[in-house]
Structure 1
Amino acid sequence: MPLPDSRWDFARWLLVAATLAAFVLYAPGLQGPFLFDDPANLAVLRAWYNGQADWRTVVLGQGGLIEARPLSMLSFLATVAAGGPGPLSYKAGNLLLHAACAALGFRLLSRTLAQDPRLAPQARALAAIAVALWLLHPIQVSTVLYAVQRMAQLSALFALGAVLAYFLARTRLTSRARDRTAIALLFAAFPLLVVAGVLSKQNAIVAPLLCLAFELAYFPGKRPLAIRLFFGLFLALPFVVALLAFAAAPQTLLRGYSDWGFSPDQRLLTQTRVLMDYAGSLLWPRGEHMSLFRDDFVISVGLFAPATTALAIAGLLALSALVVELRRRAPSLFAGWFFFLLAHSVESSVLPLEMYYEHRNYLPAFGLALALVGTLALWPRRGAAGLRLAPLAWFATAACLVLALQTYGRVQTWRSKPAIVANALIHHPESLRARQTQAFIDLAEGRTDAALAQMHRLQRSAQPRTRLLARIDAVSIACLAGRPADPSELTRALTDAQAKVTLDEVLVVDLLAQASAGDRCPGVASPQVSALVLGLLRAAPTQDPAAHPRRQLHLIAALVLARSQDWAGAQAQAEGAWTTQAPLEVADVLVQAYLANGRRQDAERVLRQIQARTRPYDRAGQALIAQLRGRIQTH
């Protein structure tokens, strides 16, 4: 059904007003801090800016092409070139992308709603309302003002573009079974846009599933051959290949669970509650409760542990069944609800990922916004005109105002890290990361007792891993503050050592290793730190030796033993950390240990291995190779 030819109609005025409002609302937060993994992901860009790294190192990384997310990194490179490596340039770029996603989302939703018989007369207005709500929603703050989430934004942008290409082709094929433009959109534009999305962040791979939701919602009946080929090529075939790959090598996927303290079945159970929580936050937002620090989300260990797991599963099934039942009367409700669920199908699946992040709703929120306006098809029709524009305009204005006020409050909070953490501690007091972050904020501002108090609170936790981490962090805080540290606290910490070491242990032990370096921490030196690391490893004898956190702990132990000149111990630990793809710092300490222990041939072997993998433009890698070659030659 064609869209009305409107220039400055209500839809355009609303979108322009919402976009301008978004720029005004977000402006105070653009100079806010880097957060979480921002420094780790963006450090190479600062090195490039300072002339210490080649642009290809930034864009292509050290691993595979998909893992490098080259289009996102290329975008960051342009950001730094234009505005420098500070937070402002990254976050201003994110805000521009936010507006671009809104514009593309409007183009898609206006066309989908035009296929809904009951809503088609107001398709543009309803699409504008849905997108304005998405644009101004407070949940988007943790994407727009979280620098590295440019990756999620670009992935969403290309996924929206891919789905729009499908939808344009599909509507053309309703009138002509053979249409060259439609074929080009389906089999050229669509895959190119999906590839671009995957090269920004892998979850753009959901695009074919989103197309399926629209196909089932808006195009009942017999499907053209081109559409059957489209879904066979881009949905059925990849699904079968993925299943066969998993059956052939399940450990490729499951090995990632070594990073986390939960199992695949626990993750799937928990994600049902997470999805319901996401939906609740989108439909009934409470900005003050939203937070980066959601590591307090309770893991589901069974259907009734907690009991809300069974309720969440029942709720998702009941809602989905109801939406299916209403598909003919309210196709946009069907399309939006399943768009929301399917857009979450990567990050809420069995993949070994963190349980909860608000930014994962960036693309799915379009679906819930579509579902919301799609419910209007269920309203009793009054007269031939159907929905009237005036009530819609008043509703949109009121809803946007409420969301804008909440977004304003969140943006003010996101202007500083202390404010972000303080808000998290009010609404998520059980967050381990929030308390750890607050402790180190206190330490940086000279409030050592307050920092230690945060750790003492965590030491009373019912969770053994939390107690373990808190005791280690308490020792690190004492060291960093120049206070005498009690080494018996490390021995006491080992009583809570777990059968699987995770990235949490790696982070706190790495901090302790740095805090105790040299002579600045009386009572805690290399022997005590290495004993702690070895104790953690011994407590997890059944863990896969190739597990990433385990290799990281071996590396920390090797570095600590090397600085105390225990080269035999350092060699053993470095060998535990070594693979041909290990970080270059592993090769560094391993070569030093081999040379100290009279094993020059082994040192030369490691050098050859890193020479084979290090790219010519990797300045840091080539510098280390030259340094190691010199050590071997002079040994």
Structure 2
Amino acid sequence: MLAISSHPSQRPVARIALLVPVFLVILAVGFAYSKGVTGKLFYDDLSFLAPLETIDSREDAWEFVTSGQGGPLGRPIALLSFLPHADDWPENSQEARWVNVGIHLVNGALIFLLGWMVLQLRNTQTLWRGYWIALFAYALWMAMPLLASTSLITVQRWTGLATCWGLMGLVVFVAGYFLQAPRPRLALTLQASGLGLFTLLALYTKESGALFPIYALVIDAVLLAHLQAPRYVRWLRRGTLLLGLLALLYYLSPLYRDWFAFSSFRGWSSFDRLLTEGQILWQYLYMAFLPQPTAFGPFHDNVTLAEGWLIPTLSWGAFLALTLAAFLIRKRSPWPLFALLWFFTGHLIESTVIQLELMFEHRNYLAVYGFCLALAALAWQAKGIWSRLAPALLTLYILLIGATLYATTSIWGKPLEAAENWAQRYPDSPRAVMHLSRAYYEALGNPSYSLRALDRYADQCDGCTDLHLQAMLYACTTEGPQSIQQRFDQVLHSAKTARRSISLMDGLYPLYDLIQQDQCKPLTFQDAHRLTKILLDNPNYQHKSYTTHVLFHAANFAKEQGDFDTAFSYLSRAESLMPEIMPILLMQVHFLMDADRPQEALDAIERRRDVVHKNPYMTDQALDDLVQMVREGRKPSMEKGVQADEAHRPDPVL
């Protein structure tokens, strides 16, 4: 398939020689990534992979694989791939990242194969040039620091593994073109079955797997449209791929979703997000091709909406102008159009109108390959004096990118150094600062360093009440009552305008424990209750997920004050908002059993029968177990109610 009779690669020695540069790139990139696998687990790793610690049976494993909260489809194939790490999790997380790196190296090999096949189909007269173009594009893509987070954030295996399935599908799809002339029906069958199967596998690994038929459409329409085939084959293939594109565009369009509806959960509308993403796409390209080692990290919660119309208009206008120009010159050179359409395809789901966080580096994992292939093609197709100079300059550029990757992964592999770098570069990122405070505590075992870091950055971050609260929690063990009271007053003051933050709500759990153990004098449960009441009045916490979480804490604090009526009121309100949340039910049953009201506890359980399976933790079996417990006069453990579970967290990611 990859060889033509006149090509030297027909000779066995020549074929082996062609693989040597490919393996050298794999070895070099693998060595660079080896410096980064010694890093840490991050926020999404901790939330999505925490159940690995408690897997002791096949039933536990099945629940872990089938109850994923990472996306609409649950991503069971990705979760299945983590089961081998369950025995010693999280101590063996480094092994998990090594698997991620291995997937990246396999993806690189598939990228090379895909590029070389496409280039052979485009021009069989310049096979050597096609080999070098594919090799240089592959080396550039493999070495990009922008892609490092996909492998070094452990849970992002779902991005790398979904890409692996999708690339296999694209390889089979492109292979079908080699059979198109002699056996068109077989070619079409091969393309449909291969792309369909691997797209399905990619979808159940991560939902962005839906993009691979659109990648295939870009290849077919831009690079391989010149290939001869029966008309029915061309129309059937392209028509099917176009239907996939139209279905996704409809899903994203104002016909399906309200672009202008304000999301109290995110704090913006879909249209606001779309305007902002144009600027972010340019930032991705800058980070991809003009990288700095310290610019890459797992924390981008400091990114905010674009203000006004000027920047969004210029950002999207520039993309539109470039795409139009690329379309006009497509017959002279299809590479600019291919690069842009491939890039837009990669960002079609995660960088448009779906209400996700604004920015993550891993969204570029496959999207930037189009630019890599276009850059390599333009360099190797240069004329005149540039015919030798351009490939040489591209070689130097790839080596520079590789050195930057090594510097980047070296930072990631040193947890404390990485945490300091990220907090210093992004002082207005609460996640980065919280990560630094934990890194200090874990590395040094002394909360004073963590406290200094939080104090240093908290005042620079407007609305970062979570940082103020975390600083106060550390102060409970290091400072006196007067200082603790002053810090808590600061928390109360900033809570009125606090930004949305799961960290803030999670900080209420240790606050409860410290007050209960009388280790945070002079604070009482009444003080903690005041904080939750302020958050309930904060406009940023009006989305039902955030409100339910705060009501959960408010009920717990009210109950500790002996105010059962208020506690029940909070729980009833939480039930009306999100009846499927299991911790709310557990707390209701516990409180009602404390108050000797078992029939009301049974009624609360039965009301949940209508919402069974809206939440993987809310099952008929779980409700039956609760009923049995109440009838036996036993109370459910408050440990299950007080701990944050996945269903209680309002922050699934893509």
Q: Identify the match of residue 223 of structure 2 among 218, 226, 238.
A: 218
Q: 1:187 aligns with which of 178, 186, 192?
A: 192
Task: Give, in whole Å, the separation in 2 of the partners of 1:202 and 1:244.
Answer: 13
Contact 2:137 2:369 in 1 (8 A): yes
Q: Deviations over 1:11-30 (max 9, x none)?
A: 42211001111222222333
State the SS of the aligned residue for 1:336. Answer: helix
How far does residue 124 in structure 1 lie from its aligned partner after superposition?
A: 1.6
Q: Is the 8 A contact 1:152 1:201 kept in 2?
A: yes
Contact 1:14 1:129 in 2 (8 A): no
Q: Distance in 2 between matches of 1:64 and 1:470?
A: 26
Tell me the CA shift for residue 363 of structure 1.
Answer: 1.3
1:82-101 equivalence runs, <5 A: 86-101=92-107
The reply to whether residue 549 of structure 1 matches residue 552 of structure 2 is no
* CA distance in structure 1 between the aligned counterparts of 2:393 and 2:382, rounded to whole angstroms: 15
Would the aligned equivalents of 1:557 and 1:570 in 2 still touch at CA under 8 Å? yes
Distance 1:52 1:519 in 2: 41
Structure 1 counterpart of 2:327, which letter? V
* Shift of residue 455, structure 1, vs aligned partner: 3.8
Q: In the alignment, what sits opposite 1:341? A: 344
In the TM superposition, what is the alpha-carbon distance from 1:90 to its structure 2 partner? 0.5
Q: CA deviation at 1:318?
A: 3.0
Deviates more, 1:449-458 or 1:263-272: 449-458
Q: Aligned partners of 1:628, 1:153: CA distance in 2, in Å?
A: 43
1:415 paired with 2:413, answer yes
The corresponding residue for 1:332 is 335
Deviations 1:397-417 (A, max 9, x none): 534432332222222212232
Residue 575 of structure 1 aligns with which residue?
Answer: 572
Q: In the alignment, does 2:327 pair up with 1:320?
A: no
Distance 1:584 1:106, change over 3 A: same
Q: Which amino acid aligns with 1:634?
A: G
- Note the C-alpha offset of 1:587: 1.7
Question: Following superposition of structure 1 onto structure 2, how do residues 86-165 of structure 1 map, counting pairs within 5 Å?
Answer: 86-117=92-123, 120-165=127-172
SS at match of 1:67: coil
Structure 2's unaligned 5+ residue stretches are 635-654
Residue 203 of structure 1: how far off its partner (Å): 0.8
- Which amino acid letter does the alignment assign opposite residue 427 of structure 1? R
Query: 1:350: Cα distance to partner?
Result: 0.8
Give the CA deviation at 1:108. 0.9
Shift of 1:574: 2.4
* Alignment CA distance shift 1:502-1:235 (3 Å): farther
Please say which of residues 335-344 and 112-121 is displaced more in the overlay: 112-121
Contact 1:133/1:400, CA 8 A, preserved across alignment: yes
Name structure 1 gaps, 5 residues minimum.
none
The residue identity in structure 1 corresponding to 2:539 is A
Find 2:423's aligned residue among 418, 422, 425. Answer: 425
Determine whether 1:362 maps to 2:365.
yes
Q: Distance in 1 between matches of 2:245 and 2:331?
A: 30
Question: What are the Cα deviations for residues 62-100 of structure 1, in whole angstroms up to 9, with x where unaligned?
Answer: 669953211001111134469986112201111111111
Partner-residue secondary structure (3-state), 1:375:
helix
Shift of residue 201 of structure 1? 0.6
1:234 deviation in Å? 4.6
The CA distance in 1 between the partners of 2:120 and 2:305, in whole Å, is: 42
Shift of 1:601: 4.0
Matched, 1:559 2:556: yes
Q: CA separation of 1:598/1:80 partners in 2, compared to 1, >3 Å: closer, same or farther?
A: closer
Q: Could you list the per-position Cα deviations for residues 570-619 of structure 1 after superposition, in whole angstroms to 9, with x for gaps in the alignment?
A: 2222233336763422221022234445654442244346678479x989
CA separation of 1:124 and 1:605: change in aligned 2, threshold 3 A: farther
Q: Which moved more, 1:6-15 or 1:58-67?
A: 58-67
Query: Residue deviations 1:526-562, cap 9 Å, x none?
Result: 2222221122112339945xx3222222222233334
Residue pairs, 1:453-472, within 5 angstroms: 453-461=452-460, 463=462, 465-466=463-464, 468-472=465-469
* Distance change in 2, residues 1:220/1:404 (3 Å): closer
Q: Does the C-alpha gap of structure 1 residues 372 and 494 become closer, same or farther in structure 2, counting only changes over 3 Å? A: same
Distance 1:590 1:227 in 2: 62
Closer, same or farther in 2 for the Cα pair 1:180/1:322, shift >3 Å?
A: same
The equivalent residue for 2:493 is 492
**2:194 partner amino acid:** A
| Structure 1 residue 17 corresponds to structure 2 residue 49 | no
Correspondence 1:376 to 2:383: no
The aligned length equals 616
Root mean square deviation, CA, Å: 3.6
Within 1, Cα distance between the matches of 2:253 and 2:594? Answer: 43
User: Equivalent residues in 2 for 1:381-400 (5 A)?
Assistant: 392=391, 394=392, 397-400=395-398
The AA in structure 2 aligned to 1:326 is I
Q: Distance in 2 between matches of 1:505 and 1:257?
A: 20
The TM-score, its normalising length taken from structure 1, stands at: 0.86
Give 2:146's aligned amino acid.
I
Displacement after TM superposition at 1:633 (Å): 3.4
Higher alpha-carbon deviation: 112-121 or 139-148 = 112-121
Secondary structure at the aligned position of 1:114 is classed as helix
**Residue identity opposite 1:376 in structure 2:** A
1:402 aligns with 2:410: no
Tell whether the 8 Å contact from 2:381 to 2:387 is kept in structure 1 after alignment: no
Q: Determine helix, strand or coil for the equivalent of 2:632.
A: helix
Work out the CA distance in 2 between the residues paired with 1:41 and 1:417. 20
Superposition deviation, residue 138 in structure 1: 2.0
One-letter amino acid of the structure 2 residue matched with residue 423 of structure 1: N
User: In the TM superposition, what whole-angstrom CA distance separates every residue of 1:22-62 from its partner, at most 9, and x where no partner exists?
Assistant: 222222333322122112111122211x4596221121116
Q: 1:24 to 1:623 in 2, by over 3 A?
A: same
**Paired residues for 1:528-547 under 5 Å:** 528-540=527-539, 543-544=542-543, 547=544
Q: Of residues 68, 73, 77 in structure 1, which corresponds to 2:83?
A: 77
CA distance in structure 2 between the partners assigned to 1:199 and 1:152 by the alignment: 11
- The one-letter code matched in structure 2 to 1:150 is R
Separation (CA, whole Å) in 2 of partners of 1:255 and 1:518? 45
Whole-Å separation in 2 of the counterparts to 1:169 and 1:139: 32
Which residue matches 1:584? 582
* More divergent stretch after superposition (552-561 vs 439-448): 439-448
The one-letter code of the counterpart of 1:72 is A
Further displaced range: 510-519 or 85-94: 510-519
Distance of aligned partners of 1:244 and 1:155 in 2 relative to their CA distance in 1, 3 Å threshold: closer
Cα deviation for residue 509 of structure 1 reads: 4.1
Residue 259 of structure 1 is matched in structure 2 by 265
Helix, strand or coil at the partner of 1:29: coil
The more displaced of 532-541 and 604-613 is 604-613
Query: Which amino acid is the alignment partner of residue 194 of structure 1?
Result: T
Is the alpha carbon distance of 1:230 and 1:505 closer, same or farther for their aligned partners in structure 2, counting shifts above 3 Å?
A: farther
Deviations 1:298-329 (A, max 9, x none): 4203223xx4x444223322332332233222
| Change beyond 3 A, Cα 1:181–1:418 | same
| Equivalent residue, structure 1, for 2:638 | none
State the 1:343 CA deviation: 0.7
Task: Rate the CA distance shift 1:459–1:619 in 2: closer, same or farther, 3 A.
Answer: closer
